[in-house]
A and B are shown apart, each in its own frame.
Chain A
């Protein structure tokens, strides 16, 4: 008899959820609202703005191709990084899922080992790998492959490399979680009906792991497009992304109203990407990946 029975008490649910709602309001919604209001403030001089409301900051953003160029570049670098992460990350995830190795947990542990070291230090380490006196150039010169050091550091390639290094574990974990949820008897059934291994992968495994791949793509794109430290450390001045533009506007020009405008633009862009993903795939897959 389940008549009148409820899965949870509504009042208790509100009490339990209230602390999180209050925190989200104070630490997320309120700052975003304040930033939005700031976009309409008037810049007076470095570090000084007035509460005289104006659309000038939005007008500048909408009419200045400088900002559009960087927005496009940010989307491009984010997309390239996400796609490379997907290509490189799928196979390790597949291997971890498919292996009969008794200590599979060890492989998963290896995936999260990089997170034990500071992200900034990990990014700095690339300077000593890609630099003119770095590991690669020194090795190639000593082997006689090259005479002059290759210009690898402070390039867009170095930025993408740094982002890959940072984001690959997120992709692998997402794909792995998705693969784990596949009923293996489906693959066995496909094989018993005459599919080759490749056909079974193409017709069964790959389609069923698409939500994980999609979630990984979204996560990698959002994190890459919103990154600041990696382009700052590994990129040259031309390799800045939109996050660097925001930093320079707020911290360099001390122009908070314009910085707030650019921040809201990036927030809307990344929010739109997440919303589009949620509309077609559902965000629950990302949560699974993050909690793996």
Chain B
């Protein structure tokens, strides 16, 4: 039979009253019991208490505002679990923070798909999701889940949205016809020297250089030609931007008139009435984003939050707010007209119309290309 602490103390008191133990022994035992109770209570209490908050890190700006408004706030109202949020401009930045912190400090990351997923797995930061706790995953596009499952059969992330990095242009300066005709080559058009921008990211730069040199971005044969094109863009560019906010700022202040750009951010600018056109040239860079759960996170709460985020009503509201199509299968869930009109939206759900980066091919070359890109971007 289990004896409670109170019962033990009562018995101790009884023995002392009966004269079975000395006053010194009674006080020593009582103090020990009190100390043990006092010392154990705080951490035991915290450990046993329900999780009251979950940490989320995302890209900030209009994207995170939409997630917060349509997913986190309703979730907190419903579950009383607060979502503490952080932001990053470059995902490598958050990987560095995760590496230097203890497991559990960072919990859910709005990650940039499979290319980055490999980095988390290599670093040993990934967790194992119990998919049974996320029933809404049944509505997620299989074509988006499979690349993750190829890397880790037991998933650590759930695809959430997708988009493209196409060409954004100021349509007061560049006509839609000219944009369509020149496509990716607009980024090396000398006519716009000093008014060209681009994402300061190796994958985007190499991808567009591959399109400009008519190579397959997932099977590049001539890297010298790629770096020559990257240098050409660099020399014509005014600024390589490094965050969505900077991209929107450069375009809206007319510092640049053409750049590769994230489809959702361009849609946001268009909704603000900015004269910005958008074009996905053939082979435009498509990417997906996922909700990645890190090792050491409170899994049940994270899974519950992700399930809430994948609920069709929530997911659609977030998608409309952030201007990126959701990972929901349009053949299973009825999506809205606004989503159907978003750039990059694939109504078939097969994702065959979009060109994603082959994660294994890019992972193999990532270190060398990133190092070379760093040099080229600085004038080498």
> Which A residues fall within an 8 A CB radius of B?
43, 45-48, 66, 70, 131-133, 151, 153-154, 236-238, 240, 244-245, 248-255
Chain B residues closer than 8 Å to A236, beta-carbon distance: 238-239
Pair B119/A70 contact, Cβ less than 8 Å:
no
Chain A residues closer than 8 Å to B234, beta-carbon distance: 237
Please judge, given known A-B contacts A47-B122, A132-B254, A237-B240, whether A66 and B375 are in contact too, CB under 8 Å: yes
Pair A154/B253 contact, Cβ less than 8 Å:
no
Q: Give chain B's interface residue range (CB within 8 Å of chain A).
A: 20 to 34
Pair A133/B255 contact, Cβ less than 8 Å:
yes
Pair A252/B370 contact, Cβ less than 8 Å:
yes
CB contact between B367 and one of A46, A153, A238 (< 8 Å): that residue: A46
Chain A residues closer than 8 Å to B366, beta-carbon distance: 45-46
Chain B at the A interface: SS class: helix
* Smallest CB gap from A240: residue in B: B378
19 contacts between A and B (CB under 8 A): A45-B366, A46-B92, A46-B119, A47-B95, A131-B253, A131-B255, A132-B253, A132-B254, A132-B255, A154-B239, A236-B238, A237-B237, A237-B239, A237-B378, A238-B378, A240-B378, A251-B93, A253-B371, A255-B367
Chain B residues closer than 8 Å to A245, beta-carbon distance: 374, 378
Task: List CB contacts (< 8 Å) of B284-337 with chain A.
Answer: none
Please judge, given known A-B contacts A47-B99, A47-B123, A70-B378, whether A253 and B370 are in contact too, CB under 8 Å: yes
A132 to B253, alpha carbons, bound, how many Å? 8
Pair A48/B123 contact, Cβ less than 8 Å:
yes
A116 to B269, alpha carbons, bound, how many Å? 34
A287 to B375, alpha carbons, bound, how many Å? 39
Please judge, given known A-B contacts A47-B123, A133-B255, A237-B379, whether A251 and B194 are in contact too, CB under 8 Å: no
A240 to B374, alpha carbons, bound, how many Å? 11
Chain B residues closer than 8 Å to A45, beta-carbon distance: 122, 366-367
Please judge, given known A-B contacts A237-B234, A238-B378, A245-B378, whether A251 and B92 are in contact too, CB under 8 Å: yes
Pair A254/B379 contact, Cβ less than 8 Å:
no
A131 to B122, alpha carbons, bound, how many Å? 42
A254 to B240, alpha carbons, bound, how many Å? 20
A171 to B92, alpha carbons, bound, how many Å? 37
Please judge, given known A-B contacts A133-B253, A154-B239, A236-B239, whether A46 and B377 are in contact too, CB under 8 Å: no
Q: Give me the 4 closest cross-chain CB pairs, A-B, nearest first.
A: A238-B379, A47-B123, A237-B377, A133-B253
How many whole Å from B374's CB to the nearest CB in chain A? 5
Asked if B90 is an interface residue, CB under 8 A from chain A, the answer is yes
Pair A253/B367 contact, Cβ less than 8 Å:
yes
Asked if B271 is an interface residue, CB under 8 A from chain A, the answer is no
* Residue from the set A45, A46, A66, A131 with the largest chain B CB neighbour count within 10 Å: A46
How many whole Å from B232's CB to the nearest CB in chain A? 14
**Given A131-B255, A133-B255, A237-B200, 10 further pairs, Cβ under 8 A:** A46-B122, A47-B122, A48-B122, A132-B254, A133-B253, A154-B239, A237-B240, A238-B378, A251-B96, A253-B374
